[in-house]
Structure 1
Amino acid sequence: MADAHGDFVWYELMTSDAEAAQAFYGPLLGWSFADSGQEGVDYRVFSAGETQVGGMLHLTEDMTEGGARPAWLGYVRVDDVPAAVDTVRKAGGGVMMEGNEVPGVGPFALLSDPQGAPFYVIDDRSGEDSGAFAKHEPKVGHCAWNELVTEDPSAADSFYRDLFGWEKGEAMDMGPMGLYQMYTQSDYGLGAIMKRPEEMPVSAWAHYFRVPEIDPAHSFVTGHGGQVVNGPMEIPGGDYVFQGIDPQGAFFSIIGAKGS
């Protein structure tokens, strides 16, 4: 099925050290890397098997002076980038970058929701479907879940459903942490929105990438300069997740089976 308005289609790591980040994430998630061929920028495309999942952007000094920091961001497919930018502005969100285009793909913009969580929108005109997000079955090295932790879940719900057309799915009551509201897109579940806990300094998206087994992944992270800040913990369905900070300071999320 072709990618549609509201699908997550690409994931991007902004990092201060592309070589070190490649050495960290390659073995962790089984990714291979290739230069994108873009002139004047170190942008590397990473793949799970034959499927491109995302890109890695080496932050230049000018970028960091402008406020960019190591982070993971997701791209959401839209039918009309200028219209999406206009919708975000009118809703009280931020426009961090607009008027740019990926050669051979299409226009994109870097935006933020009214609570400050950044994300990209892109009008992919390449004619090639994305396999970055595993829509219907678990795939190692692919994104398995997109989770927004936000200061105002109710406002975020209205913002994203209006912008992307996502539908509410099931919700879990997490007690003092409030509802864990899940969302669907077409015939699959794409992610959830939840209240930001006090220990998290800002509202942000987390993108969960799948590994074969959670315990070896946990050991790799802690043994190669990363830091695990939460988990591993079991989630409904039997998988386990943990969140960490990579050696360059980017927050990341991992999902996988417990193993034998």
Structure 2
Amino acid sequence: MADDGASFAWYELLTTDVGGASAFYGSVLGWVTKDASIPGISYKLFMSGELTRSGLMELPEEGIRQGATPRWIGYVGVDDMDLAVHRMLERGGSVYVPPTGTNIGRISIVADPQRATFGLLSGSRIARPAVEGPDAPGRVGWHELLAADWRKAFGFYSEVFGWRQADSDFAGAESYQVFSAGGQTIGGIFNKRPLEPIAFWLYYFNVDDVDAAIVRVRAGGGRVYEGPLELPNGSWIVRCLDPQGATFALEGARSSDSIAKAPAAEYRWTTTWDGFTSQGRWRSGQPGGKGRRPGK
């Protein structure tokens, strides 16, 4: 039997430039860094005031030699690490880093059968906010899996972690599976586009003002490669690359003045994404994009 609603419990940026990443995300999301190193492990925490948001560390040299690139890793919290790894392997998953004790708890870096990488975490030693809404600025508010086959991917995570189908904000979105964990709607799974070479997890950080965040991304040497895109609930998203090449996304509001002043080219991109028109606008009732929890 799978864990009852095992959900994401931690996030970590593996990068080739810790100093550069610290400055970039400090500017974009208002984070500061706090040293959390232990003998043999150099590690930093991204903080919003006194709230711990995520971890930051150098991408290991062995990983670079094997072709790994800077990336965000989300960790699913589990009660029994060995059992979770066993379930994954039985269903075609892979283990890149076997269960190991670290400064944040016992971890394992793994991949689903379609090669999307994520982590497992048990016995977490990181203090997280006890009471905080999913839309609080600076935290991850949505998790999106760009899969090779979304149906098979959802089946895998459902069997391993107990994830369930959840309602979305639009009807007929058969190729965007919104899912819940522990009774909370936390993300969606859909098929990646041909331009994405492998399946991957994308994490959305909440911001108060998307347009202001875009300015900070570009000023810090990052790039917005899609968006802003409007969601059915009226919020907006952008998908970005940080200066080291790690993919992340932002979600928040836009002022009517900003929308009115936006050039038409802002909504265009050169690839096709099911569910959006060529101008980047949502087609009601179509899949492919960020389905949100009802009432958000």
**Would the TM-score normalized by the shorter structure come out above 0.5?**
yes
Comparing both structures, which one devotes a greater share of its residues to strand? 1
Q: 1:77 and 1:158 mapped to 2: Cα distance?
A: 19
Match of residue 17 from structure 2: 17
How far off its partner does 1:60 sit? Answer: 4.1
Q: 2:57 and 2:107 mapped to 1: Cα distance?
A: 15
Greater displacement, 52-61 / 18-27: 52-61
Match of residue 121 from structure 2: 122
Match of residue 150 from structure 2: 153
Match of residue 181 from structure 2: 185
Q: Pairwise mapping of residues 45-60 of structure 1 onto structure 2 (< 5 A)?
A: 45-60=45-60
Match of residue 109 from structure 2: 110
Question: 3-state SS of the aligned residue for 1:170?
Answer: coil
Deviations 1:200-240 (A, max 9, x none): 22100001001110001111112221111110111121111
The alignment of Structure 1 onto Structure 2 pairs a total of residues equal to 252
Report the AA paired with residue 35 of structure 2.
D
Question: 3-state SS of the aligned residue for 2:6?
Answer: coil
Check conservation: 2:115, 2:199, Cα contact below 8 A.
yes
Flag the 1:226–1:198 CA change in 2: closer, same or farther, 3 A.
Answer: same
Bigger radius of gyration: 2
Q: 1:117 and 1:257 mapped to 2: Cα distance?
A: 29
Check conservation: 1:5, 1:78, Cα contact below 8 A.
no
Of 158, 161, 165, the residue aligned with 2:162 is 165
Q: 2:172 and 2:23 mapped to 1: Cα distance?
A: 37
Report the AA paired with residue 69 of structure 2.
R
How far off its partner does 1:167 sit? Answer: 1.1
Of 205, 221, 225, the residue aligned with 2:221 is 225
Greater displacement, 141-150 / 51-60: 51-60
Q: 2:246 and 2:219 mapped to 1: Cα distance?
A: 17
Check conservation: 1:93, 1:114, Cα contact below 8 A.
yes
TM-score scaled by length of structure 2: 0.79
Match of residue 63 from structure 1: 63
Quote the RMSD (CA, aligned, Å): 2.1
Q: Which runs of 5+ in 2 are unaligned?
A: 257-296
2:6 equivalent to 1:6: yes
Indicate the percent of aligned positions where both proteins have the same amino acid.
Answer: 34
Q: 2:234 and 2:17 mapped to 1: Cα distance?
A: 35
Q: 2:172 and 2:44 mapped to 1: Cα distance?
A: 39
Flag the 1:53–1:231 CA change in 2: closer, same or farther, 3 A.
Answer: same
Match of residue 73 from structure 1: 73
How far off its partner does 1:129 sit? Answer: 5.9
Match of residue 207 from structure 2: 211
Q: Which runs of 5+ in 1 are unaligned?
A: none
Question: 3-state SS of the aligned residue for 2:151?
Answer: helix
Greater displacement, 165-174 / 211-220: 165-174
Check conservation: 1:118, 1:204, Cα contact below 8 A.
yes
Flag the 1:36–1:174 CA change in 2: closer, same or farther, 3 A.
Answer: farther
Flag the 1:5–1:77 CA change in 2: closer, same or farther, 3 A.
Answer: farther
Check conservation: 1:214, 1:259, Cα contact below 8 A.
no
How far off its partner does 1:67 sit? Answer: 3.1
Deviations 1:102-127 (A, max 9, x none): 23x5321111000000010111254x
Check conservation: 1:48, 1:140, Cα contact below 8 A.
no
Flag the 1:217–1:241 CA change in 2: closer, same or farther, 3 A.
Answer: same
Flag the 1:97–1:61 CA change in 2: closer, same or farther, 3 A.
Answer: closer
Deviations 1:13-33 (A, max 9, x none): 110000001110011011111
Q: 1:231 and 1:116 mapped to 2: Cα distance?
A: 26
